[in-house]
Structure 1
Amino acid sequence: MRIRQRRKYTSIILALSLLVVLEGIFIFVLWIKRPAEKPAVPPPEKKAVYKGEIAVVIDDWGYSQNNLATLEQIKLPLTVAVLPHLAYSRQVAQELHDQGCEVILHLPMEPHEKTNLEKNTLMTSMDSATISRIIGDDLESVVYAKGISNHMGSRATEDERTMKGVFREMKQRRLYFLDSYVTPRSVAGRLAGEMGVRFARRDIFLDNKSDPEYIKGQLQKLKSRARMKGYAIGIGHDRPSTLAVLKEELPQLKREGYKLVFVSELTR
């Protein structure tokens, strides 16, 4: 009797053991056949909302080549205004063009305060033939120019006869005019429209002070203007402090949703 009971218990134990082993094998097979875990996919980056177009102009190139390397590191659309007949005008215009910048002639024009005038400054006393000759000579000095902006010129841009002479020559050459807008009495915008010359006007001067924090503040104003009217034009100068700030801040503008463009893309 006892022997039968022992055999019965032994059979039960063996059966249970076999079930445990089979269950383990089944679980193992399921485990090795499980689908591989896919690596976690980071959520897609949110695209910045488009906020407007911004053109940045760097004035007064031609005195030296010192800041060319810094400008090249920015690698974003920039418009560069080169003064004619300086020691490095031609070389700088060539180099800036090769870097992919949009080159324009920074035409010296008569201011109200006649101090520190550049060679062959365009004066309101000049006739149309002289104006045409000066512009032609200056363009030979500043190669690849697609447009013209005024250097100084508070008096000249207020003078209708002078600006008509400038625009007649520019229209023949298919150049656009960027009004640096150094006087609220400028007639350039009205005359450009009447004469069929492509035109743009400066919104913000970026570096009336060389302090980096001031320049950053002006860039904020430029962004605000672009949001308000859809586009904005800022003018800075060929200075180490200005270029250092632009190198730091312009990529951020792009990330925020502003499109950086050449001035020619904003002409009307």
Structure 2
Amino acid sequence: MGWTCPPCGGVSRALALSFSLLLVACSDDESPEAPSSAPATEQPANAGAAVVPVVPVVPVEVPPLSAVEPPPAVIEPEPVPPTLPTELPSLPQLAIIIDDVGQSLPVGRRVVALPGPVALAILPFLPHSQLLATEAAAAGKPVMLHLPMENMAGLSIGPGGLTTAMPEAEFRSRLQLALNAFSPIQGVNNHMGSRLTADRQRMDWLMQVLGERQLFFVDSRTTAQTQAAFAAETAKVPSVSRDVFLDNQRTEAEIDHEFALAVAKARKDGAAVLIGHPYPETLRYLERRLPQLEGEGVRLVSVQVLLER
């Protein structure tokens, strides 16, 4: 029996059935959609991400480098030099020497006890010369040999004295003995000596020995014809000269008058040398007067200070 072609209607139903089966098979492979009451709306690909506003970029004009103004230069202030204290003018200076020390121990100790650097001019070969020299040095006082020298009046000059009649060898030997009579000795001044100090040759001999011993000399100026300062300068021996004798007259009024002259001399010239003696009137005056001196604008100094001027 032969094959018969189905009618067109049968073919159409067969195709429809096959298409339906195919749709069912495809729908079984997908998850079912959740039901929605609102119609679906198309969403962009980045739906759900935060929306960032886009800021338009405005170009900024930058001036060329050469047109930028440099910062102002830092000007350091000039250093101000420190203000130095104004130097006070130095006070007038007064040096005091007490001659003829060595005979009396109590009197000598009273001289040692005077205020300030009062110098002791001690005679050689006297009972208390060495002890007073030692005590004076321990107290910080200048110690000098009060060297006896020949005078114009023919007065006795005491042991260890020098005269114009001595030849050079004897003169030098006698001088060395006097310089070795006690110690320490820092300088020399003349006891009397109005005749000897006027003798230039013997003053040269004297200064040569003092120069070898590195001692200074104070000229008591017992004569206007003295050659001591000239001889000292030649031998390069430090020296000064007396300006005022304090107690040629031993009354308080005269001593006060001479002291005032010495102070006036110091104020006028810057310095003065005053020579006195260990008289009771003199020591009593100095014990009272010396503590007042600096308050009056005058400084009491050692003889060595004046030698450095």
Do they superpose with TM above 0.5?
A: yes
Task: Return 5+ residue gaps in structure 2 as ranges.
Answer: 1-87
Give the secondary-structure state (helix, strand or coil) at the position aligned to 1:86: coil
Q: Distance in 2 between matches of 1:101 and 1:233?
A: 16
Give the secondary-structure state (helix, strand or coil) at the position aligned to 2:105: coil
1:168 and 2:198 aligned: no
Equivalent of 2:92 in 52, 63, 67 = 52
What is the aligned partner in structure 2 of residue 218 from structure 1? 258
Per the TM alignment, residue 50 of structure 1 is displaced from its structure 2 partner at its CA by 4.9
Q: Distance in 2 between matches of 1:111 and 1:68?
A: 25
What is the aligned-residue RMSD (CA, Å)? 1.6
Per the TM alignment, residue 190 of structure 1 is displaced from its structure 2 partner at its CA by 1.4
Q: State whether residues 115 and 290 of structure 2, in contact with CA within 8 Å, keep that contact through their aligned partners in structure 1.
A: no
Q: State whether residues 58 and 237 of structure 1, in contact with CA within 8 Å, keep that contact through their aligned partners in structure 2.
A: yes
Q: Distance in 1 between matches of 2:126 and 2:271?
A: 32
Q: Distance in 2 between matches of 1:171 and 1:72?
A: 27
Give the number of equivalent residue pairs.
221
1:94 and 2:134 aligned: yes
Equivalent of 1:238 in 265, 274, 278 = 278
Q: Distance in 1 between matches of 2:244 and 2:298?
A: 16
TM-score by length of 1: 0.78
Equivalent of 1:136 in 176, 200, 224 = 176
Per the TM alignment, residue 139 of structure 1 is displaced from its structure 2 partner at its CA by 2.0
1:127 and 2:171 aligned: no
Task: Return 5+ residue gaps in structure 1 as ranges.
Answer: 1-47
* Amino acid paired to 1:228: K
Mapping of 1:1-268 within 5 angstroms?
Answer: 50-267=90-307
Q: 1:80 to 1:181 in 2, by over 3 A?
A: same
Q: Distance in 2 between matches of 1:95 and 1:69?
A: 8
Q: Distance in 1 between matches of 2:262 and 2:220?
A: 15
Q: 1:136 to 1:167 in 2, by over 3 A?
A: same
1:124-162 CA-partner distances (Å, limit 9, x unpaired):
121222222222211222311100000000010000111
Q: Distance in 2 between matches of 1:196 and 1:72?
A: 30
1:162-188 CA-partner distances (Å, limit 9, x unpaired):
101101100000011100000011011
Q: Distance in 2 between matches of 1:111 and 1:119?
A: 14
What is the aligned partner in structure 2 of residue 25 from structure 1? none
| Relative contact order, higher structure (CA 8 A, sep 6+) | 1
Q: Distance in 2 between matches of 1:49 and 1:264?
A: 20
Q: Distance in 2 between matches of 1:128 and 1:149?
A: 20
Greater fraction helix:
1
* Amino acid paired to 2:195: R
Q: Distance in 2 between matches of 1:128 and 1:189?
A: 20
TM-score by length of 2: 0.68
